[in-house]
Amino acid sequence: MLETPNEILNPQSPLPLYHQLAELLAAKIRGGDYPPGTRIPSEHKLAAVFAIGRPTARQATDVLVRKGLVARRRGSGTYVREPRQEVELFSLDGTSAAFTRKGLAVESRIIAPVVLKTVGDDGDNPFAGREAYFLERLTRVGAVPVLIEALFLHPRLFAGLAALDLEGRSLSAIAEERYFLRPNGGRQNFQIAYLDADRARHLLVTPETPVLAVRRCLHFPQAQNGVFSELYCRTDQFVFSQNIGGPGDA
């Protein structure tokens, strides 16, 4: 397929050659030239066809590996991975809804039951120094754990929450159906984090595994910052996205 490629790399471009090659190969993968399970050309082959050094070809392949498009198999070559499903997780409809919209079987399990507690010193948590309902739950898709969510809820808006059976139920649905609450806005930030041993065990990763951490506040007409949540997401199973200018909160 690459014996006489139509595409050429431009050494005069400000974009490094390895980056150009990675983008070229990524386009071929997404376009179906290299379907899932097929082997892409070796670094030796890429170097010969595009008249580049093998270190440049290796850098290009490294980029594809980091993007999750390919995986190396020792002694065999580099193969196209099955595409990870994309989930528009960061919306006002709740985490479970994001997966069910994709037709995925999702299961949420409470791993820290609801308690009314005084929140410690945390500058990002709007309940710091005040009481809030707290719970923690694990979400699985099929048999695979994909995220942990620690939630802090306004004690007045969600009065009596500790008495409810929340196992397997959508919190956004409970908020709307029992408390007549639907968020009308919010804010969130993103960073890379490392889990403590207990959370890592629940997600089936090691404490050295980086995960996507999201801290989110949801606002309601009845009160600002009615819900604060910390989400810890594995990114090796799904690509988590957010629509800009859509229903997702900022």
Which DSSP string do the residues of the chain spell out, in sequence order? Answer: --SS-S----TTSSS-HHHHHHHHHHHHHHTTSS-TTPBPPPHHHHHHHHT--HHHHHHHHHHHHHTTSEEEETTTEEEEPPPPEEE---STT-HHHHHHTTT--EEEEEEEEEEEEE--S-TT-TTTTSEEEEEEEEEEETTEEEEEEEEEE-TTTTTTGGGS--TT--HHHHHHHTS-----EEEEEEEEE---HHHHHHHT--TTS-EEEEEEEEEETTEEEEEEEEEEE-SSSEEE---TTSSS--
> Which pLDDT score is estimated for 2?
62
pLDDT higher than 90, residue 199: yes
Region at 103 (left for phi over 0; alpha for psi -120 to 50; beta for the rest) = left
The confidence score (pLDDT) of residue 99 equals 61
Candidates 3.10.270.10, 3.30.420.40, 3.40.1410.10, 3.90.1310.10; correct CATH number of 85-240? 3.40.1410.10
The confidence band for 240, taking pLDDT boundaries of 50, 70 and 90, is low
Read off the pTM: 0.62
- The tokens describing 112, both together, are 């820290």
Where do the domains of the chain lie? 17-80, 85-240
pLDDT tens readout for residues 70-81: 999 988 999 998
| Residues whose CB is less than 8 angstroms from the CB of residue 123 and which lie 6 or more positions away in sequence, other chains included | none
Question: Which overall architecture, per CATH, does domain 17-80 show?
Answer: Orthogonal Bundle (1.10)
Compute the distance between CA of residue 237 and CA of residue 232 in angstroms, rounded to an integer: 13
- Residue with the bigger pLDDT between 93 and 210: it is 210
Q: Which residue has the tokens 């695979």?
A: 144
Per-residue confidence band for 3, with pLDDT thresholds at 50, 70 and 90:
low
What is the residue whose two structure tokens read 């959508």?
170
Cβ pair 2, 45 in contact under 8 A: yes
Residue 89 has which token pair?
Answer: 């997780």
Per the CB < 8 A criterion, the answer to whether 131 and 118 are in contact is yes
* Res. 82: pLDDT tops 90: no
For residue 194, what pLDDT band results from cuts at 50, 70 and 90?
very high
Q: Is the pLDDT of residue 94 over 80?
A: no
- Going by pLDDT thresholds of 50, 70 and 90, the confidence category of residue 163 is very high
pLDDT of residue 92: 42
Here the tokens at position 196 are: 């403590």
Residue 105: CB atoms within 10 Å: 10
* 188 or 151, which is more confident: 151
Instruction: Find the helix packing angle between 43-50 and 17-30, rounded to 10°.
Output: 110
Residues 6+ apart with CB under 8 A from 224: 126, 217
Query: pLDDT of 13-49, one tens digit each?
Result: 888 999 999 989 988 888 889 999 999 999 999 999 9
* pLDDT number for residue 88: 45
Q: Is the pLDDT of residue 95 over 70?
A: no
